[in-house]
Structure 1
Amino acid sequence: MKSLKTNIYFKVGTIFFIGLLLLIPTSMIENLIYERESTQKEAINEVSSKWANEQTLSGPFISIPYDKYIKEYSKKDSTTKVVKVKEFIHILPNELKITGKINPEQRNRGIYQIVVYNSKITISGKFKNFNSSEYDIPEKDIIFNKAQFTLGINDLRGIEKQINLNWNDKSYSFNPGVISDDIVKSGMNAQIEINPTDNSYSSFSFEIDLKGSQILYFTPVGKTTDVTIESSWKTPSFNGAFLPDSRKVTDSGFKANWNILHLNRNYPQTWTNNTYNISNSSFGIDLILPVGNYQKTYRSIRYAILFIVFTFIVFFFIEILNKIFIHPIQYILVGIALIVFYSLLLSLSEHLKFDVSFIISALATLLLIAGYVKAILKSTPLMYLISGILLILYTFIFVIIQLEDFALLIGSIGIFIILGLVMYFSRKIDWYNLNISEENEEKK
């Protein structure tokens, strides 16, 4: 047993094995982070399902049905007959202007916060008069009196009040549903009058009170689309196919404006049936919460192996340079304390701000390890040495988490410096002639 105790290769192998074992609880905490994040998403989905989900306003557009005659061959009696089927012409507006105000609210489900909103949106614009010569369709087959003005809405439960369409100074009531799912699957429609002989533009306008959860998107269906949205939310994220042409974000909220041309998207102003998909051009606002505790905790635990390896290297050098013996069980206890830090961080960050949680967890772990080192090594200088090194490591990780854009650069530089320090302090060690505690054992 004495030979194993002083055998440097046995010691290195034991430390390496302990380090590998500690990766198991590290992996378990990573899984716990994913589990808690999934629970948060479930809470968000639960609240959204009762309030209203994320909303995308697709349109408005006009759908005009027409009769199409096709030949159908019957194998049963070897005859051919002509069958009438209904298809649709879809027309997008020449001008589209959207203005709106979002009123956000924070709801709680257990310990989780969810963002929902009420919005008041005004939509107006103009349609170019229908020209049947643009289509290879006989005008007699086009059913003008069944034309539908359609607006796609993801979740109709978000509609707060009855909506009336002002079409050429006439009022029409919207009805739920869509007459064709060529462009949208869910929405509302109003049957309007179209005069094919009228060459003037048709104007429209309506207001909609819409509620939803976290996201509000729009589609640039106009030949020119102008969208202006304002809100009291302080931390918006502008996402989708287009970013705002101008935006202003202050402590009192934000205001953003998009101006998009039909040349900026990959579909025309008119087509038949389901030839084109407009959903890929959607853009808008994500009312994100100004915290990402689970993402930050996950990012910090990715450096757990660095903590374990560097702490164990320091302990190993203390053994070699000070001719003392640290038992493998003591390595294990210190390693577990380093892993428990992440469990503390995860649990505290669900109730406190992440930065505060990190500081509390780091200080608690430092005090625990410092007290244990003082007890087993009976040396105040060594206790300060270990505590100082861990403090530097925790500060290093904290800085990396804050600087997301420069995390790779700072992390690479930090690891390079750590490697340089290890090489510097180990430069004079004779690795071929090492005894860990031989002198101490002889004195006993």
Structure 2
Amino acid sequence: MFTTLTNANSGSNVNIGLVLQGGPDGTKEGTENALALQGLKDACLPSLPTSSGYQYKSCTPHTYTPQSETLGAYSGLIPSKTGENDFMMALGYFPSKAIQTAANSNGNKLFGIVDFEFTPPVGNIVSVMFSEDQIGYLAGLVAGEVAKSRGGKVAVIGGVDQPSVRRQVNGFGSGVKIACSTCIAYGLYSGTFESDPKLIKTVADLLTEKKVSVVFNAASIFGTLTLKNLTTQQGIYAIGSGSDEWVTNWAYGSVPGSEHVLTSVQTDYTVLVRSVVQSVLRANLTGGGTVFYGVNTDMRQSAIKLAPAHEAGGVFTKEVEEKMRGYVKDMTVGKLTTGVDHKSGDSRSSGSSSTSVQLLPLNGKPSSSSPSSNNHDSNDSNDNNNSNNKSTDRDENTVSSPRRSHAPSNKDNLDRLGRLFFSPAGLLVACLVVQVVDFIGPWMVL
């Protein structure tokens, strides 16, 4: 366990490598990659002011992007670039094995990984996590405030039943009860983060039957697609997560249902990466443990924050915004806590129950939040020997990060163009174009 870069001399230059996520999203606006890259640029400067406590003279950033988001894509990339950097950090589950391989082979270097937790910890790796219980808690506070005058029923869609998702689900239920003690908070676990049209309809029908007015997405792509169904077909209000979903998944308000997106609980990778890199440069980041980043009244320092209401300002009113600022202040100073156990994701404030929501069955089967062996967000080794710590094996072709930001898809963009073309304005423009062509056509022939 160490807190300094033993391979870099104080007062010298530090090389810091950031391994971005692979896949099609790249660094499009609003994605985790774009936000993380900005955080690296903010912190890793060519000239570091000594008055800010930095122990090094300068910093040189290096970024790497694998061809795809799979375990294999990272396995050759990270170990091969370790020699070029004094500190390396990667995002998500898929680089976890490669980071551990590099750390085991370079015991004198410090590594970091975001959105993945090594348990037991590895001495020269720092796990960096968002306080996921606060993500759900913040969404629950919004849902409770809005639902007070809209039937008092809300819900959260969880993905795979694992600790990171349970933390959000149970945080949500706790937040709802603070904002609206008479409200009912439902919850369910879909068992997937990916698209499943049949299951999406099942979940949407179930939540419609329960007459919920607000639904929070804690199921990545599956949750987003279900919310699109609910906002367009039922007029139910949505709370996104990860990115500002009104921007990334409702394409700046051009996708149907965008007017029902209340807000999103954003996980700000700019704040997180900037803070981690600054800690490295101040020689006060410690390996062998987990560092958590959460809400803060100072938005520049807050790793978890609410996105603007955009089109839903008539529902997510100024009064609700003011109440949310008060809640955030109380969370920052510890006056409000989520009551969620980090290790298991279970609720500690629900009496004999391990969950703070009323779990809904899917297809006649109970939606259980009991501890699961299907843990997709940390390794599961009981061996304390660092060289033998193993990340839990998973099918890399079926598992998706539970909190992945997505830019507008090709389908969304085609939908947007179709609505534009067949709108009154679009048809008028088309008619004008035809008339112009008819007028100049003979001249063009000449």
TM-score normalised by L of structure 1: 0.23
Higher RCO structure, 1 or 2 (CA under 8 Å, sep 6+): 2
Larger radius of gyration: 1
TM-score normalised by L of structure 2: 0.23
Structure with a larger share of its residues in strand = 1
